[in-house]
């Protein structure tokens, strides 16, 4: 595992445009930092999505009809998924996320509150194809809140949706939240909060990489840099070198790898694409989803959709 991660990071950090996958955000510290981000005034997506889910609770439940198993993609602390328990009444709950210990603790706590629902936690990288052959006969509702789909490049988002339609086996659907295009100031503030929590979240990815592979990133050498790319309709998050710096990645039984960065060089850590409602519904339709129902807030800042497979 360590060797494969080292090879992955060596390739991505040595590329013409260096990058670190956003999956490295979500160790235990990063997961907690993201929970704090969702509480910030500047970070509108979480509270706006929650407003939509509450305001249209009955309509969403009617669209879902019934649910044998709720598959929570990127479950985090499971708070969003558990809000659906009393409305769509799943018989089973399967929580998926990258941070194993954090997820297992959340599910264990949730199981005490809802002993009647069969629950399980699964540490899974959502950037890889998902397969659930053992669930073929069940009506599955995939739940993907928080506009996490925005972290996928558009072509990979299309493949992700096709994967989910196939895994529904004609019996299920997708309940998903997506951030909408809006004014640049609101978007930039959401990813550059004055408290610096998002900056800490971004920088923590370097500490997680150090822990996982034994590299020697130093936080004082890097700073958070995020902006809205209007032409690509996405927020871009980067780590920017404060000065010339060298980073060492351990070799696999051989000489260590040294990567040099000049002051101002960027390591890309995340994209967060923003969609129009029309464009997003078209994407779902192309992937094979039908009967797509949508709900939004009065300001049209965020969108929740349920799509049948």
Q: Is residue 246 part of a domain?
A: no
What does the pLDDT look like over 206-262, one tens digit per residue? 999 999 999 999 999 999 999 999 999 999 999 999 999 999 999 876 789 999 999
Provide the β-strand partners of residue 232. Answer: none
Does 256 reside within a domain? no
Report whether pLDDT(45) > 60. Answer: yes
Block residue for tokens 């985090």: 76
Residue whose structure tokens are 């969403």: 60
Read off the pTM.
0.92
234-241/222-229 β-pairing: antiparallel
In tens, the pLDDT along 269-287 reads 999 999 999 999 999 999 9
Pairing of strands 69-73, 140-144: parallel
CATH number (domain holding residue 80):
3.40.50.150
Residue 224 lies in a domain: no
The pLDDT tens digits of the residues spanning 151-203 come to: 999 999 999 999 999 999 999 999 999 999 999 999 999 999 999 999 999 99
Checking if the pLDDT of 1 tops 60, the result is no
298 in any annotated domain? yes
Q: Is residue 68 part of a domain?
A: yes
Whether residue 260 contacts residue 243, with contact meaning beta carbons closer than 8 Å, is answered with: no
User: Could you list the residue range(s) of the whole structural domain that residue 84 is in?
Assistant: 44-183+274-308
Report DSSP letters for 243-255, one per residue: S-EEEEE--SSSP
Residue 1 lies in a domain: no
φ and ψ at residue 289, rounded to 5 degrees = -80, 150
Confidence band, pLDDT 50/70/90 cuts, at residue 98 = confident
Tally the domains of the chain: 1
pLDDT at 230: 97
* pLDDT on residue 63: 97
Q: Nearest Cα to 178, choosing from 52, 307, 303, 51?
A: 303
């Amino acid at each position: 595992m360590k060797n494969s991660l080292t090879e992955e990071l060596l390739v991505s950090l040595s590329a013409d445009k260096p990058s670190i996958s956003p999956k490295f955000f979500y160790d235990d510290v990063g997961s907690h930092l993201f929970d704090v981000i969702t509480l910030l005034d500047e970070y509108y997506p979480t509270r706006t999505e929650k407003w939509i889910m509450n305001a249209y609770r009955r309509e969403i439940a009617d669209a879902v009809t019934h649910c044998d198993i709720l598959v929570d993609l990127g479950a985090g602390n499971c708070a969003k998924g558990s809000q659906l328990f009393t409305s769509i009444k799943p018989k089973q709950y399967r929580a998926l996320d990258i941070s194993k210990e954090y997820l297992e603790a959340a599910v264990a706590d949730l199981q005490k509150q809802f002993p009647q629902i069969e629950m399980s936690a699964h540490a899974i990288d959502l950037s890889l194809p998902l397969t659930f052959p053992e669930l073929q006969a069940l009506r599955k509702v995939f739940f993907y809140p928080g506009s996490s789909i925005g972290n996928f490049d558009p072509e990979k988002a299309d493949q992700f949706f096709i994967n989910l339609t196939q895994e529904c086996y004609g019996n299920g659907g997708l309940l998903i939240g997506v951030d909408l295009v809006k004014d640049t100031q609101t978007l930039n503030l959401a990813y550059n909060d004055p408290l610096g929590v998002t900056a800490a979240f971004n920088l923590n990815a370097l500490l997680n990489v150090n822990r996982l592979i034994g590299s020697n990133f130093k936080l004082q050498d890097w700073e958070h840099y995020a902006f809205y790319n209007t032409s690509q309709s996405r927020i871009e998050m980067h780590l920017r070198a404060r000065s010339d710096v060298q980073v060492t990645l351990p070799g696999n039984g051989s000489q260590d790898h040294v990567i040099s960065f000049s002051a101002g060089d960027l390591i890309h850590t995340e994209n967060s694409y923003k969609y129009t409602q029309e464009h997003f519904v078209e994407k779902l339709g192309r992937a094979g989803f039908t009967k797509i129902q949508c709900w939004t807030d009065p300001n049209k800042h965020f969108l929740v959709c349920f799509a049948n497979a």
